[in-house]
Amino acid sequence: MSAAGPRVAVVGSCVTRDTWSLAGPPESRPLRYFDRTSLASLTMAAGCENPLAPLAAGLNNQHRHLRAELAKDTLAQLGACQPDLLVLDFIDERFDLLACGAGVANESLELLQSGLLHHPLMAGARRIDRLGEEAWQHWEAGLLRLRQGWQGAGLGACRILLHACLWADEIETPAGRQPLPDACQILPARVTSRAAHNALLRRMHARFAEVFPAATLVAPPPALRVADAAHRWGPAPFHFVRPYYQSLAAQAAAAGLPLWAAP
């Protein structure tokens, strides 16, 4: 850890990144932040050529997160910046996967809006239902690749914090707290089940803990896992009320893994 405080990287979603802006000191931010990826698509299998790399080469810095997703170089970037702590969450595992030859991509809104799905390299992409067993097999294989590549990337000294986040069951509105329906929209015209995704997240958290037994798992209490209708990113089952983020930061600090330097 540097004298200025911990060097923290995030591979996850705004649910973790917003902890800095909603609970941290002014102008605080993680050292590196990678989102809209999946453990299934974070890396490539050993010996396989990445068919999506040419797509990454054409993206500018405005699409740096999508570029890392397609280039499969997030692990290399983490090795280059040498964080003291890596924080993960699996909320962006809500998207279906796209199989493109030997490569897999997370079908995020950013990928759809980029227009890259019309590129010849992705024209024959096959969608894999995120809630199906095939997607799980891709995810678990990616988890094992991450474990195998961890030391080789020079990250042996980096500690891991898993933000074991689940989707909210309730939302805070001007009229008070209201229950959320099970059906919710992931992408335009793409509806899914909150309960099914929470079951998938619990399965992911448990398997991650098996593969990375030294990792620390934290999660704010269920009473704080409440969506915020006034959240700056809009209402969603994973856009929480401010006390949720404050609790996450406090739990991380209590576990000896502060997300920023003490004042």
Residue 235 belongs to some domain of the structure = no
How many domains in the chain?
1
**89 within a domain of the structure (yes/no):** yes
Position 122 in a domain = yes
Q: What is the pLDDT of residues 57-111, one digit of tens each?
A: 889 887 999 999 999 999 999 999 999 999 999 999 999 999 998 899 999 999 9
Nearest-angstrom CA–CA distance, 231 and 239: 6
- Residue ranges making up the domain that contains 136: 8-167+196-217+241-254
Look at residue 58 in the predicted model and tell me its pLDDT.
85
Per-residue pLDDT at 3 exceeds 90: no
Residue 259 covered by a domain = no
Answer whether residue 1 is part of any domain: no
Residue 2, pLDDT score:
53
The answer as to whether 263 is a domain residue is no
Residue 211 lies in a domain: yes
Q: Give the tens place of pLDDT for each residue, 122-169.
A: 988 999 999 999 999 999 999 999 999 999 999 999 999 999 999 999
Strand segments, DSSP code E, in the chain are: 8-12, 32-35, 85-88, 97-100, 103-106, 126-128, 159-163, 170-173, 176-179, 183-187, 190-193, 216-218, 226-228
Residue 180 lies in a domain: no
